[in-house]
Amino acid sequence: MALTDIPASVSTYLDKHHAHFIDGGEVNSSGGETISVVDPSSGQPVSQIADATLDDVNAAVASARHAFESHAWQSMKPAQRAALLHAFADRIEANADQLAMLESIDGGKPIALAKPVDVMATVGAFRYYAGWADKINGTTNNISMDGEHHAFTLREPVGVAALIVPWNYPLVMAGMKLAPALAAGCACVLKPAEDTSLTALRLGELAIEAGFPAGIVNVLTGRGAIAGQALAEHPGVDKVAFTGSTATGKRIVQAAAGNLKKVTLELGGKSPNIIFGDADLEKAIPASAMGIFFNTGQVCTAASRLYVHRSVYDQVVDGIAGVAGGLQVGHSRDYETLIGPLISARQLERVSSYIETGKKEGGEVVYGGNRIGDDGFFVSPTVITGVKNDMTIVKEEIFGPVLVAQAFDEMEEVIALANDTEYGLSSAVWTKDISTAHQVARRLRTGQVGVNQAAVADWNLPIGGYKQSGWGRENGYDGLANYLQTKAVAIAL
Ligand code: NAD
């Protein structure tokens, strides 16, 4: 194992005392408490971040409110906002190596992937929404009220947006919310996950370098139950955009009720991946393996439930187990690594306990199932067969590299099995029959369907959940509309 060296710009950043980023600069937590930042590859602390108090939350929201209402922001032309978003993308790209290394150390991202995947996708989010910033238009409306009127609509920013994101794609999740919020003209308080806050803090600094007015991008680090909850409750916040677990999503809905703030939720999933007997297995097998094992299974849309037609079941399961066996699992700073560690000791415990539950319930581990090494939070890619839909490991989101597989015989049967879940985020179907593909795609109750592919992600394609996988859609115009509200104006002539 040869580890990539940590450049000086990164070690200096890790060593530094991290405060919140509020009103264009660093602001120490009023409580002085910190949270340890752990490298999931070693299990060792590498830095620390500020643990927000309620006073810190109030300061961040006040900063965003002040900036939102400022002349500088309100009078900014749409084309200027577009230019700022492009400048933000440029600053991220210019710092790509540093951000990739931070994401690798803080979030366990394989260093070979952190830049092309995490950093460049984030750059893409800002460039994509830069394109929308000067194309936000209302309508002119022919109305039938008595008299003559000129009626039209204005599309206005919702106001102060709290953006609460998880640890699995820290930069991408931040970009997915910041970019449309800024394009719409909102002011933001970004609350990264306590496990992965370092790159979010850098985004705060880069927003200022790009030229955003102070207070438009604030970054508050701290615990979900305190800082996240306080943001969701805060009367000064107009909108919460949240990505995380379904359980936390439900708490956010309750917390947001106080001032009826607008809420969008991107929540968990347990996505079915259906392989018919006529599928191109040379493509389906490796893609289905990566559909669950990529990012160590810590992907909301992970293709975690595999349904294979009985005629090719053994071949597919053996094939996926074979792919799993060939994946390089290892330290995130090893350039050969394809699958890094889980994010934390807590997540390792959670995934391991699901594997044990699966075995107790009668599942057969045909590949993996074990922790790897004693340092860091590594678990082997795992394939479990002999499962049924009523088993815990088939019902609940594991958020780790664990695939549960079962065979089916009929299309009607597999549609029912696939839809038999409280989640509805994503799904995939593999077949060469165009009629089967269309029928199944229409009947799956999920926000996304991949046909002959297990992973679908594009800034111009909406993502979001049916059922308990969420409220609303992100990406595309839908993602921008989350941060806009409509004002109707009717002028009597
Ligand atoms: P989590 O819900 O525990 O935490 C997510 C964020 O919410 C963190 O920033 C956390 O600090 C904050 N938070 C925690 N409790 C809070 C509260 N009471 N009020 C406000 N904020 C609070 O989720 P996680 O374990 O960090 O992330 C994993 C989950 O995220 C998985 O279920 C996964 O499916 C989901 N996820 C969904 C998507 C999607 O697009 N649908 C993307 C990535 C992750």
pLDDT in tens, 307-318: 999 999 999 999
Q: Is the pLDDT of residue 1 over 90?
A: no
What is the predicted pLDDT for the residue at 396? 98
Query: Which regions of 112-181 does DSSP assign to beta strands (E)?
Result: 140-141, 149-157, 160-164
Give the residue-averaged pLDDT of 378-403.
Answer: 98
The per-residue pLDDT for 352 is 98
Ligand 1 atom nearest residue 463's Cα? 40
Q: Ligand 1 centroid to 164 CA: how many Å? A: 8
- Strands 450-451 and 305-309 come out as unpaired
Asked whether 378 and 343 are in contact (CB, 8 A), the reply is no
Q: Which of 51, 245, 250 to mutate to test the pocket of ligand 1 (most atoms within 8 A of CB)?
A: 245
> To the nearest whole percent, how much of the chain has pLDDT over 70?
100
Residue where the block lists tokens 């109750």: 445
Model pLDDT, residue 15: 97
Residue 115: name the closest of 100, 132, 94 by CA: 100
Q: Specify the long-range contacts of residues 5-13, CB closer than 8 Å, at least 24 apart.
A: 6/101, 6/105, 6/333, 7/97, 7/98, 7/101, 9/98, 10/98, 10/101, 10/102, 10/105, 13/47, 13/98, 13/102, 13/198, 13/202
264 Cβ closer than 6 Å to some ligand 1 atom: no
Q: Give the residue numbers annotated as catalytic, written as ranges.
A: 266, 300
Of 261, 258, 292, the C-alpha closest to 275 is 292
Helix ranges (DSSP H) in 39-167: 54-69, 71-74, 78-94, 96-107, 111-113, 120-133
- Give yes or no for residue 354 having a pLDDT over 90: yes
How is the chain split among helix, strand and coil, in percent rounded to 5? 45, 20, 35
DSSP letters spanning 217-247:
EEE----IIIIIHHHHH-TT--EEEEES-HH
Whether 471 lines ligand 1, by a CB cut-off of 6 Å, is: no
C-alpha of residue 258 to centroid of ligand 1, in Å:
21
Mean pLDDT over 248-256 rounds to: 98
Residue 164 Cβ inside 6 Å of ligand 1? The answer reads yes
Please work out whether the CB of residue 51 comes within 6 Å of at least one atom of ligand 1: no
Token pair recorded at residue 304: 């975690």
268 lines ligand 1 (CB under 6 A): yes
- Give the chain's radius of gyration (CA, Å): 23
pLDDT at 455 over 90: no
What's the average model confidence in pLDDT over 245-270?
98
Q: Give the mean model confidence (pLDDT) for residues 248-257.
A: 98
Å from CA of 245 to ligand 1 middle: 4
Instruction: Output the average pLDDT for the chain.
Output: 98
What pLDDT does residue 210 have? 98
> 244 C-alpha to center of ligand 1: Å?
2
Of 311, 284, 297, residue with least CA distance to 383 = 297
Which tens digit of pLDDT belongs to each residue from 16-73? 999 999 999 999 999 999 999 999 999 999 999 999 999 999 999 999 999 999 999 9
| Residue 8 CA neighbour count, 13 Å, CB half | 0
Q: Hey, whose CA ends up nearest to atom 14 of ligand 1?
A: 224
Q: Best substitution site from 165, 168, 294, 468 to test ligand 1's pocket, by max atoms within 8 Å of Cβ? A: 168
The number of the ligand 1 atom at minimal distance from the alpha carbon of 269 is 34
The average pLDDT across 88-101 equals 98
Query: Does the beta carbon of 381 sit less than 6 angstroms from any atom of ligand 1?
Result: no
Please measure the distance between the N-terminal and C-terminal CA atoms of the chain and give it in whole angstroms.
76
Separation of alpha carbons 301 and 11, rounded Å? 33
| 300 in contact with ligand 1, CB cutoff 6 A | yes
Nearest ligand 1 atom, CA 222:
11
Contact 122, 171 (CB under 8 A): yes
The verdict on the CB of residue 168 being under 6 Å from ligand 1 is yes
Nearest ligand 1 atom, CA 223: 11
295 lines ligand 1 (CB under 6 A): no
Q: Specify whether the CB–CB gap between 171 and 95 falls below 8 A.
A: no
